[in-house]
């Protein structure tokens, strides 16, 4: 079987175009949506994410408020900034980039964000809404995964879905989204017994473990939809000493021989995360500004 390659880059570009049109409408009424992004410290991966977020925010016509704080920032200082952003009428969405330095309790910061501006969907109020089927903000990466799944198969009710990974950011909300679509969902993790066999039951397989190419081709049920959330940097021996390349959590070439559809890495789930963040920010602005 030759799998459909799910082009997340193209899907995300289309989504951003639709968002930009809606933002232009709002701007004409003097209600330009605004997204505040806070980064603490100098984690290089976080700096790249934040730069991309700010660029794409401006590209869709929104206002971008960037707050770059030193690694020595105290919890009280960060909570002070969050309170200021909560109160700022120009700010519709707030994102505090994770991870945070160890002197700051990330959960405390997440809980300090106004749930109406929590475009990451990490606040317990929004996590609870997702769990109970009430509209709220959904974590961007799982939301992007669901949109990609639905781009190849609209009705997924009754399908067996396996999510590998149980993080609050990806695994758990992904499972909740799939339950919301009436899938039969298994959440697998590091303690799961016979993971390959569990995966072989999946009509939809979502890998979010952060281990390069862990999911092998023979773990994939023939015809399955495979969504690879992993972004792992590994040595690129063919390119020479010190060179690296990015691979997912799925052994792509092997899995593509059995799947009906599969996301590549890069160019699959990755571009969807920021596009969904902008979607959530637009949603926040529409609700807040009426
Ligand atoms: N760090 C890595 N991914 C994310 C994300 O989606 N949101 C936030 N706030 N931090 C992250």
pLDDT digits (tens, 9 = 90+) for 255-281: 999 999 999 999 999 999 999 999 999
Q: Is residue 2 predicted with pLDDT exceeding 90?
A: no
- Give the single-character DSSP code of 207: E
98 Cα to the center of ligand 1, angstroms: 5
Q: Is residue 288 predicted with pLDDT exceeding 80?
A: yes
Q: Which of 172, 58, 57 is nearest to 121 (CA)?
A: 172
pLDDT digits (tens, 9 = 90+) for 62-102: 999 999 999 999 999 999 999 999 999 999 999 999 999 99
3-state secondary structure 5-46: ECCHHHHHHHHHHHHHHHHHHHHHCCCCCEEEEEEECCCHHH
Sign for the pseudo-dihedral over CA of 279, 284, 285, 286: positive
Contacts of 273 (CB under 8 A, 6+ apart): 140, 141, 144
**Does the annotation count 117 as an active-site position?**
no
Report whether residue 96 contacts ligand 1, using a CB cutoff of 6 Å. yes
Residue 180: C-alpha distances to residues 12, 146, 156, 158, 175 (Å): 22, 11, 10, 11, 9
Sign for the pseudo-dihedral over CA of 52, 173, 95, 12: positive
Q: Which of 194, 231, 193, 197 is nearest to 212 (CA)?
A: 231
**Does the annotation count 53 as an active-site position?**
yes
The pTM (predicted TM-score) of the whole model is 0.97
Residue 247 near residue 230, CB atoms below 8 Å = yes
Report whether residue 40 contacts ligand 1, using a CB cutoff of 6 Å. no
- Give the single-character DSSP code of 226: E
Mean pLDDT of 11-35: 98
- How far does the chain reach from its first CA to its final CA, in angstroms? 49
Band of the pLDDT at 151, cuts 50, 70, 90? very high
Characterize the bridge pairing of strands 160-164 and 184-188: parallel
- The domain spans of the chain are 32-114, 140-270
pLDDT at 143: 98
Report whether residue 95 contacts ligand 1, using a CB cutoff of 6 Å. yes
Mean pLDDT of 145-168: 98
pLDDT digits (tens, 9 = 90+) for 185-232: 999 999 999 999 999 999 999 999 999 999 999 999 999 999 999 999
**Does the annotation count 97 as an active-site position?**
yes
pLDDT digits (tens, 9 = 90+) for 26-67: 999 999 999 999 999 999 999 999 999 999 999 999 999 999
Domains 32-114 and 140-270 alike in fold: yes
121 Cα to the center of ligand 1, angstroms: 10
pLDDT at 290: 79
3-state secondary structure 77-115: HHHHHHHHHHHCCCCCEEEECCCCCCCCCHHHHHHHCCH
Closest residue by CA, ligand 1 atom 11: 98
Report whether residue 277 contacts ligand 1, using a CB cutoff of 6 Å. no
Mean pLDDT of 136-145: 98
pLDDT at 1: 65
- What's domain 140-270's architecture? 3-Layer(aba) Sandwich (3.40)
| CATH fit for domain 32-114, picks 3.40.50.1970, 3.40.50.300, 3.40.50.10860, 3.30.230.10 | 3.40.50.10860
Contacts of 183 (CB under 8 A, 6+ apart): 156, 157, 158, 159, 160, 161, 204
Residue 6 near residue 263, CB atoms below 8 Å = yes
| Two structure tokens written together for 77 | 């200082």
Closest residue by CA, ligand 1 atom 1: 98
* Proportion of the chain above pLDDT 70, given as a percent: 100
């Amino acid at each position: 079987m030759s799998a459909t390659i799910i082009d997340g880059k193209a899907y995300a570009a289309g989504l951003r175009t639709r968002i930009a049109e809606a933002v232009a409408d709002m701007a004409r009424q003097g209600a330009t949506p605004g997204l505040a992004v806070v980064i603490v410290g100098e984690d290089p991966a976080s700096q790249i994410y934040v730069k991309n977020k700010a660029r794409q925010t401006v590209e869709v016509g929104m206002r971008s408020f960037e707050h770059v704080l030193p690694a020595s920032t105290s919890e009280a200082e960060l909570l002070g900034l969050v309170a200021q952003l909560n109160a700022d009428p120009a700010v519709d969405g707030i994102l505090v980039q994770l991870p945070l330095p160890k002197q700051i309790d990330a959960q405390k910061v997440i809980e300090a964000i106004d749930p109406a501006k929590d475009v990451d969907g990490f606040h317990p109020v929004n996590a609870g809404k997702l769990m109970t089927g009430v509209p709220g903000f959904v974590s961007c990466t799982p939301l992007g995964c669901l949109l990609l799944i639905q781009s190849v198969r609209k009705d997924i009710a009754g399908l067996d879905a396996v999510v590998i990974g149980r993080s609050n950011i990806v695994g758990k909300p992904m499972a909740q989204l799939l339950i919301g679509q009436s899938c039969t969902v298994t959440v697998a993790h590091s303690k799961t017994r016979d993971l390959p066999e569990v995966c072989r039951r999946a009509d939809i397989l979502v890998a979010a473990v952060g281990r390069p190419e862990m999911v092998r081709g023979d773990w994939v049920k023939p015809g399955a939809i495979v969504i690879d959330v992993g972004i792992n940097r590994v040595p690129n021996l063919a390119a020479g000493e010190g060179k690296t390349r990015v691979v997912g959590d799925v052994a792509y070439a092997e899995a593509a021989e059995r799947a009906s559809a599969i996301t590549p890495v890069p160019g699959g789930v990755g571009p969807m995360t920021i596009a969904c963040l902008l979607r959530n920010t637009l949603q926040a602005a529409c609700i807040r500004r009426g």
